Structure 1
Amino acid sequence: MDASSTYQDSLPVSSDALLEQLRGWGLEFTFHEHVPLRTVEDAKSVEAGLVVEGETAFRVKNLYLRDKKKRNYLVTLEQDREIDLKALGAQLGVGNLSFGSADRLMENLGIRPGAVSPLAMVSGAEKGVTFFMDAAAKTADRIYMHPLVNDRTIGMTFADLAVFFEKVDVSPTWLDLD
C-alpha cells in the first residue's frame, strides 16, 4: 500500500479523522490535495500552489529515527536543511541514529513512508516516540505538513500547531540548528 489517502482507512488514525479532530479543537489550517509526494524534491514541485502569498513558509522534512537502545525519534526540520545523522545524534545526546523501518514507522507513528509528519505524534505520543523540531518553525507564518497521508498538505500557524501538541500531550524539544 502507498501513503496516499486512498488507503487512509488502514491507518490507526485516518487523515479524515485527524482533520475533523483539528477542526473540533478549533484549529485553522489551509488544505491542499495534490499528487502523492514522496520526497522533498517531489514537494518542491507543488509548493508554489500551497504557500499563501506574503507569508513566511516553513516546509518540513521529517526523519523517523532509532538509536541502538531501540528508542524512537521523530525529527522535523526545514526541508532544505542538511543533516548529518552522527552529528545530530551527538547534539540530541542519544548516540548513533539510524532510520527506522517501514514496519516500525507504522507501529510507532501510524503512518507509511512518504507521509511522515509532526501530526503523526497523534499516535506517536502514546507509543513513546520522542519528538524534536527545528526551532526555525517558531518564526514562520505557516508550517506545511502532511496530515498522515502524502497526497494532502495542510498549512498551520505555529500557534495552532502548538495547541495540537498540547492536545496530544507532546512537548517538542526545539533544535536550534543555526
Structure 2
Amino acid sequence: MPTSPEDLIAYLAGLGIEAETVDHPPLHTVEDSRALRGDIPGGHTKNLFVKDKKGQLFLLVLGEEAIVDLKRVHEKIGAQGRVSFGSAELLEEMWGVRPGAVTPFGAINDEAGKVRVVLDEAMMRHQRLNFHPLVNTRTTGLASADLIKFLRATGHEPLVVALGQESAAG
C-alpha cells in the first residue's frame, strides 16, 4: 500500500524538514500547474520516469522550463542505452504514484531502491523546490537541501548532474 500524503508530511517532519503544503485542483501537466498554482514561491519542477534498455529505472527531476534531450540523457545518468518512458503500471508499482503526480517523494514507496533519482544541477540552485506530495491535488515546498536529506533517508543517494538546458522562454 503506497504511503499517504499525510504520512509523507509526517515523515518529513520526523526528519526535521520544514515543508509547506498547499491544496489545489488536480494538476496533470506543467501547463496546468502554471495556470493554477497562484503565488507558491520557489522552483517548480517536472519529473520524468524513464527506464533504460536493461530495465534500470530513473526519475529525472528538472526545473519546469528545462529541456532534456532524451536521446542523449543516458550519457549523463549512466543508463545502458537510450531511455524511454516507464509505463503507468510500472510507475505505480515502483513509485506508488500515478501519472500526473510523479514526484521525488515517491522514493518513500521504493524500499528496494530500484529507482535512481537524478536531480538537475540548475534546478538545485533554487533555495526552495515544489513537488506533489504523492497526489496532484497538493503541492509541497521544501528547501532544496532538504530534498537531498529526504532522498538519502529513504536510501536513494541522488545523482546531481546538468540534465537539461533552460528553454529560451525561461
1:142 and 2:108 correspond: no
Query: Which is worse superposed, 83-92 or 72-81?
Result: 83-92
**Is the Cα contact below 8 Å between 1:108 and 1:127 reproduced in 2?**
no
Once the 2 structures are TM-superposed, how far is the Cα of residue 76 of structure 1 from its aligned partner? 0.3
Give the number of aligned pairs: 163
Q: 1:164 maps to what in 2?
A: 150
Q: For 2:9 and 2:77, how far apart are their aligned partners in 1?
A: 31
Residues 1:39 and 2:29 are matched in the alignment: yes
Rounded Cα–Cα distance in structure 2 between residues aligned with 1:46 and 1:66: 30
Distance of 1:68 and 1:104 partners within structure 2: 15
Q: One-letter code of the match for 1:71?
A: Q
Aligned residue among 116, 127, 131 for 2:102: 116
Q: 2:12 aligns with which of 10, 13, 22?
A: 22
SS in 2 for 1:132: strand
Structure 2 stretches of 5 or more lacking a match? 166-170
Could you tell me how far apart the structure 2 residues matched to 1:93 and 1:73 are? 10
Does residue 1:73 correspond to 2:84, yes or no?
A: no
Alignment root-mean-square deviation, CA: 1.5
The aligned amino acid for 2:158 is P
The equivalences for 1:102-113 within 5 A come to: 102-113=88-99
- The residue aligned with 1:151 is 137
SS at match of 2:71: helix
Residues 60 and 76, structure 1, Cα contact 8 Å, conserved in 2 = yes
Q: Which consecutive segments of 4 or more residues in structure 1 shift more than 4 A? A: none
Structure 2 CA distance for partners of 1:125 and 1:61, relative to 1, 3 Å:
farther
Cα displacement (A) at 1:130: 0.9
Structure 1 residue ranges without an equivalent (≥5): 1-10, 52-56
TM value normalised by structure 1:
0.85
Which secondary structure state, in structure 2, belongs to the residue aligned with residue 73 of structure 1?
strand
Q: Say if 1:58 and 1:142, in contact at 8 Å, map to a contact too.
A: yes
Question: How many Å separate the matches in 2 of 1:153 and 1:33?
Answer: 7
Partner of 2:72: 87
TM-score (structure 2 length as normaliser): 0.89
Contact 2:3–2:96 (CA under 8 A) maintained in structure 1: yes
Pick the structure with more helix per residue: 1
Question: 1:93/1:22 Cα in 2 relative to 1: closer, same or farther (>3 Å)?
Answer: closer
Matched, 1:128 2:114: yes
Retained in 1: the 8 A contact 2:152–2:158? no
The residue identity in structure 2 corresponding to 1:38 is H
TM-superposed deviation, 1:72: 0.8
Contact 1:121 1:170 in 2 (8 A): yes
C-alpha deviation, 1:48, in angstroms: 3.1
